[in-house]
Amino acid sequence: VNDMVQYVWGKTQRRGARGRQAVYDAYMVTDSVVAGFSEAFGLALSKASTPAIYDLVAKTISDAVYATKKAKKHYRRRRPSVQFGDTTLIPWDEASHVNSPSYPPSHSAAGWAVALVLSELNPARAEPILKRGYEYGQSRVIAGYHYQSDVDAARLAASAAVARIHTTPEFAEALKKAR
């Protein structure tokens, strides 16, 4: 029931600034992600100006996406737009998603994982950073590509992925360089 309520809510958010943000958030490439977190972080992040943070974000995105792959392959949940024969906020991208699973969304996992890592780098800005990471997931609900429960599961997968990468010396070194 909550998935349906949130799906309808998401459709009401498509016009205006929140809809534009959801479209922006659909482009999950490192350049757009660091730019999307810059205001929340309190610093203009980019490959040129903050290369160590940029590299850490790129690796975090990759790890978070990987953390969703087995569940996607196992559950093969249909996307809400496919389930209901509905359009999304990003119609030019629909064809590439018709046969890809909804649960759990890699975009949402990546946004949340990046938020966790960036909030660790800049704890004074943790609240706006985590809010922005949360918004990445909600953007997928607004766009009509995922159910709320998909996004919630992605945040759990991302949290586990970030906990896991904390055990590696490579992450510790990357975090040190980013600081």
Helices (H), the chain: 2-12, 17-25, 30-41, 51-75, 80-83, 106-121, 126-143, 148-165, 169-178
- Residue among 63, 79, 132, 150 flagged as catalytic: 150
Which amino acid is residue 171, in one-letter code? F
Ramachandran angles phi, psi of 20, nearest 5°: -60, -40
Q: Which of 79, 125, 132, 146 is catalytic?
A: 146
Q: Using CA atoms, how far apart are residues 122 and 152, in angstroms rounded to an integer?
A: 24
In the set 77, 79, 140, 155, the catalytic residue is: 140
CB 162 within 8 A of CB 116: yes
Cis peptide before 104 (omega within 30 of 0): yes
Whether residue 125 lies in the annotated active site: no
150 assigned to active site:
yes
CA distance readout (Å), 133 to 5, 26, 166? 22, 13, 19
Q: Among this protein's residues, is 155 annotated catalytic?
A: no
Catalytic residue among 77, 107, 125, 155: 107
Query: Annotated catalytic, 152?
Result: no
Residues classed as catalytic = 107, 140, 146, 150
